[in-house]
Copies of this chain bind each other. A is one copy, B any other.
Amino acid sequence: MAYDLVYNSFSAAERKTIEEGAFKPEVDFFTKDLKSWFDLIHNHGVWACAGVGIAGIATNNKHYVDMALYGTEKNGKGGFIAQMDGLFSPDGYYTEGPYYVRYAILPYYLFANALDHAKPELKIFEHRNSILQKALLAGLQQTNTNGTFFPINDALKEKDYTSNELVTAIDIAWKVYGADKGLLTISKKQDKVLLSKGGASIAAAIATAKNIPTLYPYKTIEFTDGNKGDEGGVSLLRNGTGNKLSTLIYKYTSHGLSHGHFDKLNINLFDKGNEILTDYGSARFIGVEQKYGGRYLPENKEYASQTIAHNTIVVDESSQFNGDEKVAEKFHAEKLFSSITSDAVQVVAAKEDNAYKNVHLQRTLYMLQLPDGRKIIADIFNAVSATEHQYDLPFQYNGNLISTNFKYAAHTKAQETLGTKNGYQFLWKEAEAMVKNNLAQFTFLNNRTYYSVSSLLQDSAQLFFTRTGANDPNFNLRREPAYIIRKKGTSQSFINVVEIHGSFDPIMEYSSDAYTAVQSIKLLHNDDDITIAAIIIAGKELLIAQCNKDFKAQSKHTFKNITWTGPYTVLYNETRLQ
């Protein structure tokens, strides 16, 4: 908005012509014709308020500024302040997810910056304990080592923190919140700055700084969701340094407005800069006219946002909340406990009771670094129901299938779809197996690392290898594989161990630790109160004992010869991992 720069060179009559002829119709359109949209607590509303507010500041129009700050009714139910209060959790998580905070952060920072000049008494950048700083830093923590935002909800996977919105936000943040070494790393990769005090200052800092780290200072971190921080959240469990960083994303948020996916209790895994257990992100070729005008493709709702496109349980081939956004918006998952202070054991438990009627879903994830260096994710996912259901747990994986320890029937001459609705119609069934009372193991290779999923299959289970691309006449979907575990019954437990192991070097032609070290998984006990699993890894026992209801830190528990205090214990070779 450059009107302020030329303001003084206009006569009062000229100003009136411009302000009444150009700005007023636009502001009226936003605040009258689109009144309810303007007052929405949604990223579109942020853009609208920023526009009207900045126009108000540039034209000394208090009415505009007040509507922008407090909504068309100026009662604070809409407007910028309500948007700052409503769309972020207290720790800065943006309810639509990281891809959309990347988008919304531009009007947030631009209008806040204008307000900071025009109405410094508002102390807008300090509002809500500096929520805009928290929002920026939370967004940056939710990126891969290559700078792309984690593909939570509708998200284009290519989008990274070099986008213009982040250039603006970071340069302003540098000025208002002070120097921050992590921002230097990003600004350097952005390779451009704003022509502003913040931009000049960060450019000068880059020019003189020595040894700017190549990676943002990523850490294990958890965010709550909901403006009070009481609507679930997301945990980013990290392990490893530099380019060897592994990140397990565990999502138990609220729905995330219109761009939310039906993916409660979903996990994703990034390792060494690659997405390993994947989220499809959004189905969209942004700005490509031939592809539905560059908008979200129909497959975005029909596939990408459905539960089966994720890594969480699908009950009875239907999506969570029956795929109804309005219903989904009313609920959120709930974190039960977490412990993230030790590299050896990071653990998060969460539950979801509303996604499927009369089915209680509870998933506890352990990201473990064993004393011998092995990286193991133990995943205890209980579906509890009094009635019979079909439960599908997909692992969307990125890589080449290397081996399985079970026999399967491959559909080699003709292929059909896995199902007919709720996203299943997009999956070709490449192979399937029926496994009884066994440990099913599946190893794949991504780039230079092996990954194995070891699954305890009590009684019987069906296994599927699928690939997207069915019912896709316009070739709108990428062809991506998944490994799906299907169980039927009332309550069912999915005990899976994901191991990151070995290395493959196609240039030096060697392969090491290409086999998973997991030898067996046993569920020693599982009821509403306690789950105990024993996993044999390279001859040593990893024993996990967890509470499913009592998460108090001081509670003491005993089961047979195992005793522990608090919600869980992890023993490796009979010694507590901590």
A residues within 8 Å of B by Cβ?
Answer: 156, 158-160, 162-164, 285-291, 294, 400-403, 410, 412-417, 428, 430-431, 443, 445, 465, 467, 469-475, 478-479, 504, 506-511, 514-515
Contacts and interface: CB of A to CB of B under 8 A. Distances in A.
Contact of A511 (B294, B402, B504, B515): B294
B511 A287 contact: yes
A469 B158 CA distance: 27
Given A413-B416, A414-B414, A504 B470 contact: no
Given A158-B507, A401-B475, A475-B400, A416 B417 contact: no
A430 B415 CA distance: 11
Contacts of A294: 511
Contact of A514 (B290, B478, B479, B509): B290
Which of A160, A474, A506, A511: most chain B CB closer than 10 A? A506
A285 B159 contact: no
- List the 10 shortest-distance A-B pairs measured between CB atoms, nearest first: A410-B473, A401-B475, A158-B506, A290-B403, A415-B415, A287-B511, A412-B471, A163-B507, A290-B402, A287-B509
Contacts of A428: 415
B288 A445 contact: yes
Given A506-B286, A508-B164, A414 B412 contact: no
Contact of A156 (B159, B443, B506): B506
B289 A508 contact: no
A290 to B, nearest CB: 4
Contacts of A416: 413-415
A475 B402 CA distance: 8
A426 to B, nearest CB: 9
Contact of A470 (B289, B412, B465): B412
A509 B165 CA distance: 12
A287 B286 CA distance: 40
A479 B399 CA distance: 11
Contact of A415 (B162, B414, B515): B414
Contact of A159 (B430, B507, B515): B507
9 contacts: A159-B506, A159-B507, A288-B402, A288-B504, A400-B478, A410-B472, A414-B414, A415-B415, A467-B479
Nearest to A426: B412
A328 to B, nearest CB: 28
Contacts of A164: 508
A467 B402 CA distance: 20
A240 B392 CA distance: 51
A412 B478 CA distance: 15
Contacts of A472: 410, 412
Nearest to A284: B506
Contacts of A507: 158-160, 162-163
Given A162-B507, A479-B479, 14 more contacts: A156-B506, A285-B400, A287-B504, A287-B509, A288-B504, A289-B511, A290-B403, A290-B443, A400-B475, A400-B478, A401-B474, A413-B470, A414-B416, A415-B415
Contact of A289 (B162, B430, B514): B514
Which of A290, A403, A508, A515: most chain B CB closer than 10 A? A290
Contacts of A478: 400
A156 B506 CA distance: 8
A417 B162 CA distance: 44
A423 to B, nearest CB: 15
A194 B36 CA distance: 72
Nearest to A443: B290
Nearest to A467: B479
A513 to B, nearest CB: 11
B412 A473 contact: yes
A43 to B, nearest CB: 15
A353 to B, nearest CB: 36
A471 B411 CA distance: 8
Nearest to A472: B412
A442 B289 CA distance: 15
Contacts of A400: 285, 475, 478
Contact of A473 (B160, B289, B414, B431): B431
A469 B467 CA distance: 11
Contacts of A504: 285, 287-288
A469 B469 CA distance: 13
A556 B511 CA distance: 61
